[in-house]
């Protein structure tokens, strides 16, 4: 990701949206039972910093050294940030009470690597641990492909989206700049996401949208959130509760 991407998209996130997302995390990861949280692809600490300020012990990981540097400069007590590839998280030899991957940051790797990352996270969690993913909903994008122009603040961006098999390909060109960003994610329909988590050893418990446990994912929602525990704790995985259906 270019520095221009971070300035255009990350710095323009409405603070009220961050408050909503952090509140969801706190509801699903009560401080009394899940005090230690691993934040993968943490960026500049948009979630990690307010969680640490609320009393959680947060470990943030991102492979971009510039955003990790920014997070470290703003880090309160209880937050530490490491520059590393998420796929190497087991090398830390630690356990957490929860792991979170927010802002559609899961799915960058190939299908087998994405599944392996989930399996690694399972082994990094305590027996009562939970995983929260905030991911893209394939049903939303299937009808919204092609090119469009968007404005984020004063920056105009030409965005082109396409689907190839189970991957969403996005190219961003910034008007007035020679910089371009290209992204590729494995994206899921709701049931595909649940099946993937189950295959990795998780038991999905809640599947929702808008960081609201009572809103079900639909093709009108670009992202969906899933909360999962460990199968070894819950036994055989049951279908997630789609609250609001």
Q: How far apart are CA 141 and CA 221, in angstroms?
A: 9
**165, 183, 201 — which closes off a domain?**
183
Segments of the chain scoring below 50 in pLDDT: 234-245
The pLDDT, as a whole number, for residue 10 is 82
Q: How far apart are CA 239 and CA 205, in angstroms?
A: 7
- Same domain for 168 and 107, yes or no, is no
- Same domain for 161 and 211, yes or no, is no
User: What number of other Cβ atoms are within 10 A of residue 106's Cβ?
Assistant: 28
Report yes or no on 240 lying in a domain. no
Report yes or no on 54 lying in a domain. yes
- Same domain for 145 and 135, yes or no, is no
- Same domain for 117 and 157, yes or no, is no
In eight-state DSSP terms, residue 12 is T
CATH number of residue 54's parent domain: 3.40.50.150
The pLDDT, as a whole number, for residue 232 is 60
- Same domain for 130 and 146, yes or no, is no
Q: What's the whole-model pTM score?
A: 0.93
The pLDDT, as a whole number, for residue 244 is 36
Report yes or no on 178 lying in a domain. yes
Q: How many domains does the chain have?
A: 2
- Same domain for 115 and 203, yes or no, is yes
Q: Which residues span the domain enclosing 165?
A: 140-183
Which of 185, 219, 201, 207 shows the shortest CA–CA distance to 106?
A: 185
Report yes or no on 244 lying in a domain. no
Helix (H, G, I), strand (E, B) or coil at 236: coil
The pLDDT, as a whole number, for residue 238 is 43
Report yes or no on 239 lying in a domain. no
- Same domain for 144 and 133, yes or no, is no
Report yes or no on 242 lying in a domain. no
Q: How far apart are CA 46 and CA 67, in angstroms?
A: 11
Report yes or no on 241 lying in a domain. no
- Same domain for 12 and 84, yes or no, is yes
- Same domain for 82 and 201, yes or no, is yes
Q: How far apart are CA 175 and CA 152, in angstroms?
A: 11
Report yes or no on 243 lying in a domain. no
- Same domain for 87 and 145, yes or no, is no
The pLDDT, as a whole number, for residue 11 is 81
CA atoms within 13 A on the CB side of 105: 19
- Same domain for 119 and 16, yes or no, is yes
- Same domain for 112 and 75, yes or no, is yes
Buried b (16+ CB within 10 A) or exposed e, 63-98: bbeebbebbbeebeebbebbbeebbebeeeeeebbb
Q: How far apart are CA 59 and CA 41, in angstroms?
A: 11
């Amino acid at each position: 990701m270019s520095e221009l991407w971070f300035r255009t998209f990350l710095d323009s996130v409405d603070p009220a949206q961050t408050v909503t997302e952090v509140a969801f995390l706190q509801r699903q990861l009560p401080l009394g039972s899940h005090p230690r949280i691993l934040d993968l692809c943490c960026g500049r600490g948009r979630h990690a910093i307010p969680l640490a300020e609320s009393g959680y012990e947060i470990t943030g990981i991102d492979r971009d050294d510039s955003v990790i540097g920014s997070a470290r400069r703003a880090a309160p007590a209880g937050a530490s940030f490491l520059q590393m590839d998420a796929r190497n998280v087991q090398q830390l030899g630690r356990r957490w009470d929860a792991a979170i991957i927010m802002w559609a940051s899961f799915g960058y790797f190939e299908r087998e690597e994405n599944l392996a990352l989930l399996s690694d996270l399972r082994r990094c969690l305590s027996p009562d641990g939970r995983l929260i993913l905030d991911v893209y909903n394939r049903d939303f994008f299937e009808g919204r492909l092609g090119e469009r122009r968007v404005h984020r603040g004063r920056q105009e961006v030409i965005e082109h989206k396409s689907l190839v098999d189970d991957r969403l390909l996005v190219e961003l060109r910034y008007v007035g700049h020679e910089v371009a960003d290209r992204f590729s994610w494995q994206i899921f329909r709701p049931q595909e996401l649940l099946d993937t988590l189950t295959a990795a050893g998780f038991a999905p418990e809640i599947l929702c949208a808008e960081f609201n446990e009572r809103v079900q994912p639909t093709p009108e929602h670009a992202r969906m959130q899933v909360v999962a525990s460990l199968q070894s704790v819950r036994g055989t995985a049951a279908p997630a509760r789609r609250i609001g259906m």
